Amino acid sequence: MVKIRLTRLLEHCAKQQFTSKSVIQRRPFTSTQFPELSQFGDNISSHHDLHKYSITEPEKFWSILARSRLDWSQDFDVGMSCDMSAGQFSWFQGGKLNVSVNCVDRWAALDPERIALVWEKDEPGDTVKVTYAQLKTMVAKIANLLKQAGVEKGDVVGLYLPVSPIAVATMLATARIGAVHSVIFAGFSSDALATRLNDAKAKVVVTADEAVRGGKRIPLKKTVDTALENVDSVKNVFVMRRTGTDVNMVANRDTWLDDGLSGCTDDCAAVPVDSEDPLFLLYTSGSTGKPKGVSHSSAGYLLYAMVTMKHAFDYNQGELFGCVADIGWITGHSYVVYGPLGNGGTSLLFESTPTYPDPGRYWETVERLKINHFYGAPTALRLLIRYGDDYVTKYDRSSLRKLGSVGEPINIEAWQWFHDVIGEKRCDVVDTWWQTETGGIAISPRPSAPGAPLAPGKPQRPMFGMDPVLLDDKGKIVEGNKVDGALCLATPWPGIARTLFGDHDRFVNTYFSVYPGYYFTGDGAHRDENGDYQITGRMDDVINVTGHRLGTAEVEEVLTEHPLVAEAAVVGFPHPVKGEGVYAYVILKEMSEQVSEEKLREELRKIVKTKISGFAIPEHILFTPGLPKTRSGKIMRRILRKIAADKSDELGDISTLAEPDVVQIIINKHLHK
């Protein structure tokens, strides 16, 4: 009987969209998944109903979850008070809580020996497990050390650290005392680090002697030293020993972390903070050269990270959640740290790379550690596909239950490989669309929704609380299916960023003024014949290189710092592995004719590496006598994008350009590059 029903279900799905054996694994929508179910009223019997409720009654929906899933020191009075056009959001006003208590203490009290973190170091098999009780001790000691260093509520602590239990404990330690962390990806250069520390006015930096990635050592402390030559606000630096190498220690500023911690007790009272007090800043790229310090709240952010992790991945305590992102990005914040720990789960900290010591690393780690949920980036999958299936199939992946993709559109080939080869057609693939600013997953299929079909290459369905709309260039809502538009979100949700640090005007202008009354994501999207969403790409001058967000203006600014460069225009172009590559068009000053082009290219690549990071280095640098500009002097990047994508036959009418002839020159140079 059961067998027949399952077969019918499978046939039904095959007809609808896509056959997935994983349909069998989907559990029905129950009160175990949603313990709050009875509080939503009598009419809710499916994910569809619950989603509808969440966007028609957002205040009720999120207040119920906030009370049932978070531990409060003081209950809140007002669930939600938001004004989209002013970029003002307040959730759970009047409530007080502490994020480290919610992520650590409550689980340590319940089950002290439960594993919170599994640190898979760069060398395969070099693994460290940290229980909730141990994590609680680490957090308290680091919090006491930060207090000794004068860190107070609201102060910013900069982290420049490898993925490690110390990094996680430091994030939670700042939360414990009501301070704010700003994690800076340890692949950023000293200049990029200094810019971010200065903007955040960080008081303390926590770093390591060196990082280790793919068998190579990266001198973090040295980079911090160089950065701090241009930063006045930082008074103390704590240095974690990762490799034990000798590093320069500046008197009265630098302390070895373990020396500092040896003088600290493991008891540190948690400071209850207001729901809306900031938990962290995270810098990300925008369409100008200046990175934005995206500021997230305490209660709303934590709740949103927890709820989205649980329901996008159908996560249960006791499972090992393997998000391989770096903690320097929002994915690391929400799905390595706050989502998993807020849910009392067990989280993987992956220090290595997909290809070290060989391209089987992810799957060897899956087998050895019995990872249940694997969450990674399409760019890594595209890279690994090239090495063939043997690196996958020689390892046992039967522990895997759900597979997640994040950071950029996943092409059908990569999706199919993820689903068929990695997941043996057994595991749902969830393509999760979201942004640093949304705090957590915004559009993604929820695998626990019974019978809901999966469509390769599409994040498909809005998460709870998410009400996506497509708008045309006149700002009107595009109705119906099989349509395109600017992707906006119409209903406020608790995880939305609260401001850009020190620049609320930029926050309002970037996200809330383009389409008044809506949050504008910066992405374009297509709604297909089934009502599923597919992301078509950024609509602004932001590109996505190996899953890293990069403003083309940032690269342009750095290139023009070279004394021989007069002007630069940077665009993205489709790249088979990286998603997008960086393509730079550069106009040189006249005097530069004596210098070889190759030498100049080398110098320009180096500048980008030292001023930003390795991932931002242009793949192509094309020297040109001019750029396509409108008569008012605006560079027509649309034309440059087409040429870079080998689509110069699709340029359309260029007769309105100030100097149309320059286009043919650029095309010829591109073809002969």
Binding site for ligand WT7 (CB under 6 A): 284, 329-331, 406-409, 431-436, 459, 521-523, 535, 538, 544, 549
The nearer residue to ligand WT7, 346 or 521, going by C-beta atoms, is 521
Which helix (H) or strand (E) segment holds residue 141: the answer is helix 132-148
Which residues in 101-120 are b (16+ Cβ under 10 Å) and which e?
bbbbbebbeeeeebbbbbbb
Q: What is the number of other CB atoms lying within 10 angstroms of the CB of residue 24?
A: 10
486 to 22, 98, 246, 534: CA distances (angstroms)? 33, 37, 52, 12
The nearer residue to ligand WT7, 203 or 637, going by C-beta atoms, is 637
At 614 the three-state DSSP class reads helix
The nearer residue to ligand WT7, 409 or 468, going by C-beta atoms, is 409
The nearer residue to ligand WT7, 164 or 405, going by C-beta atoms, is 405
Place of tokens 């290459």: 457
Closest approach, Cβ 523 to ligand WT7, in A, equals: 5
Which distant-in-sequence residues (6+ apart) come within 8 Å of 109 by Cβ? none
Q: Which residues sit opposite 206 in a β-bridge?
A: 159, 238
Closest approach, Cβ 467 to ligand WT7, in A, equals: 17
The nearer residue to ligand WT7, 434 or 573, going by C-beta atoms, is 434
Strands 428-432 and 402-406: parallel
At 538 the three-state DSSP class reads strand
Closest approach, Cβ 334 to ligand WT7, in A, equals: 8
The nearer residue to ligand WT7, 170 or 284, going by C-beta atoms, is 284
The nearer residue to ligand WT7, 121 or 498, going by C-beta atoms, is 498
Cβ(206)–Cβ(151) below 8 Å: no
Which residues in 213-225 are b (16+ Cβ under 10 Å) and which e?
beeeebbbbebbb
Closest approach, Cβ 532 to ligand WT7, in A, equals: 13
Q: Which two tokens stand for residue 514?
A: 């383009």
The nearer residue to ligand WT7, 79 or 300, going by C-beta atoms, is 300
Closest approach, Cβ 438 to ligand WT7, in A, equals: 8
Would you list the DSSP string of 223-259? HHHHHHTT-SS--EEEEE-SS-------TTTEEEHHH
Closest approach, Cβ 158 to ligand WT7, in A, equals: 19
Closest approach, Cβ 351 to ligand WT7, in A, equals: 19
Closest approach, Cβ 588 to ligand WT7, in A, equals: 32
Question: Which candidate, 489, 491, 548, places its Cα nearest to that of 520?
Answer: 489
The nearer residue to ligand WT7, 360 or 462, going by C-beta atoms, is 462
With vertex at residue 521, the alpha carbon angle to CA 518 and CA 525, rounded to the nearest 5 degrees, is 105
- Residue 577, classified by CB atoms within 10 Å of its CB into exposed (0-12), middle (13-18) or buried (19+), is middle
Closest approach, Cβ 292 to ligand WT7, in A, equals: 10
The nearer residue to ligand WT7, 196 or 221, going by C-beta atoms, is 196
The nearer residue to ligand WT7, 238 or 283, going by C-beta atoms, is 283
CA distance 137 to 117: 14
Closest approach, Cβ 549 to ligand WT7, in A, equals: 3
Closest approach, Cβ 305 to ligand WT7, in A, equals: 12
Closest approach, Cβ 407 to ligand WT7, in A, equals: 4
DSSP designation for 455: -
Q: What are phi and psi of 390, to 5 degrees?
A: -60, -35
Question: Which candidate, 614, 521, 607, 508, places its Cα nearest to that of 564?
Answer: 607
Q: What are phi and psi of 497, to 5 degrees?
A: -60, 150
Q: What is the number of other CB atoms lying within 10 angstroms of the CB of residue 1?
A: 5
The nearer residue to ligand WT7, 95 or 291, going by C-beta atoms, is 291
